[in-house]
Amino acid sequence: MTIRDVDMRGKKVLLRVDFNVPLSAAGISDDTRIRAALPTLKHILASDAEALILMSHLGRPKGKEVPALSLAPVAPALSELLGVAVHFAPDCIGPAAASAISALARGGIVLLENTRFHAGETKNEPAFAAQLAQHGDVFVNDAFGAAHRAHASNVGVASHLPAFAGLLLEKELENLETALESPRRPFIAILGGAKVSGKIDVIDALLGKVDALLIGGGMANTFFAAQGRGMADSLVEWDAVAVARELLAAAGGKIRLPSDQRIAAAFDDAAESRVIAASDDLPAGWQSLDIGPATVAAYADAIQGAKTIVWNGPMGVFEFPNFARGTSGLARALAAETENGATTIIGGGDSAAAVEKAGLSQKMSHISTGGGASLELLEGKTLPGIAALNDR
């Protein structure tokens, strides 16, 4: 059930959001996740709710109060985006939270302090979940980025209150589940990132659904090693080589690897670099940091005419401008296919950051706010934060 299915008039709404945003001395460096929650916030505010109580985690304080991971800077940023006052409570439970909530005028908003300042959050401790649940009459989960975690603020709370999905969570599920369960074809998946070990189950699950699976990033190195290629100082997961070899054998030709790579003499943006063919061993001391231009062109051709494209993981070390060419080139190719009518879904995390960095986020059909959550959905797993919600 979603917030469309519940009458929230006169109720205190306890809303789990994902405000796990990057902070710097200058403030919030990327407010994408905050902006993604705005439709749900506005819907609840328009419903004549008694109060809106927001809770989120930020970083990994490991059950301790870490001032650098306080959510305090988020409250004024959210207030500016919403155009209404957003108050801040210096704790998420206890007298400080209760006082901030009781001080709200009707329709007021308060953001509670980082839930992970308490060890009971990640342990999903019943007592901590019960304390959080005391704040509201109904619970709404809009934190897709944390939906794969069974924590107190998204799973434990749902055992105490009527529990509904927010509009962002609904949108994420509609896009990802539709792509997996009834994709328009051809259906192409693109996987990148550093390691293959965390995506073995995803690859295995996707091979039975996609028409082609394009591999890039550091994980391609492990596949190359499985083929016997000399990878020199490149990142290779040697304990995953045997599994990579099995996946290639079982793929029936669906897995495509880069035809060339941009290699460097050191892990440094200013390092000497050159492009070599994928059939060549790397020189001693060198490492692969990006896919090459021929691969970008080949992958752009492979997705041309596709109707559904899912992308998770960059094609190289996109944080280095000299090794972001593969990722940005592929992003431009996906943007072009979106214009041609394809449904393009970017699976959160580094993929979303790379598309944002390339200035192409508005050119995609959907950019997920949850990297880990989207991966587990692609694997076919049930996410605890979603399973905890009320069904129709």
pLDDT for 88-106, tens place per residue? 999 999 999 999 999 999 9
Among 193, 217, 349, 370, the one annotated catalytic: 349
pLDDT at residue 36 in the model: 94
Can you state the angle between helices 219-226 and 241-250, rounded to 10 degrees?
Answer: 80
Residue 46: CATH number of its domain: 3.40.50.1260
Residue 195 appears among annotated catalytic residues: yes
**391, part of any domain:** no
- Per-residue pLDDT of 169-195, as tens digits, reads 999 999 998 888 899 999 999 999 988
Buried/exposed 302-325: b ≥16 CB within 10 Å, e otherwise: bbeebbbbbbbbbbbbbebebbbb
- For the stretch 197-238, pLDDT in tens is 888 989 999 999 999 999 999 999 999 999 999 999 999 999
Catalytic residue among 107, 198, 372, 380: 372
Q: 371 falls in which pLDDT band (50, 70, 90)?
A: confident
Q: Dump pLDDT digits (tens) for 134-165.
A: 999 999 999 999 999 999 999 999 999 999 99
Average pLDDT of the residues in 32-38: 94
Check pLDDT > 90 for residue 339.
Answer: yes
Cβ–Cβ under 8 Å, residues 289 and 320 = yes
Same domain, 244 and 140: no
What is the per-residue pLDDT for 310?
Answer: 96
**Structural domains counted in the chain:** 2
Of the candidates 59, 63, 123, 195, the residue annotated as catalytic is: 195
Q: Decide if pLDDT at 356 tops 90.
A: no
On whether both 317 and 234 belong to a single domain, the answer is yes
Q: How many CB atoms lie within 10 A of CB 216?
A: 27
**Same domain (yes/no): 123, 199:** no
Q: Looking at 118, 137, 170, which one is the last position of a domain?
A: 170
Catalytic hit among 33, 229, 254, 357: 33
Select from 146, 170, 194 the last residue of a domain: 170
Tell me the pLDDT tens digit for each residue of 285-307: 999 999 999 999 999 999 999 99
* 387 within some domain: no
On average, the pLDDT of the chain sits at 95
Establish whether 33 is a catalytic residue.
yes
State the Rg of the chain over Cα: 22
Q: Has residue 135 been placed in a domain? A: yes
At 313, the pLDDT band (50, 70, 90 cuts) reads: very high
User: Has 363 been annotated as catalytic?
Assistant: no
Check residue 372 and give its pLDDT: 87
Range with the lowest mean pLDDT among 38-47, 249-258, 365-374?
A: 365-374
Residue percentage of the chain with pLDDT more than 90:
88
Task: Enumerate helices (H) and strands (E) in the chain, giving the number of each.
Answer: 14, 17
Rounded to 10 deg, the angle between the 371-379 and 200-207 helix axes is 50
Domain that holds residue 138: 3-170
Residue 329 known to be catalytic: no
Stated length of the chain: 392
Residue carrying structure tokens 């189950």:
201
Give the 3-state secondary structure of residue 264: strand
Give yes or no: residues 26 and 141 share one domain. yes
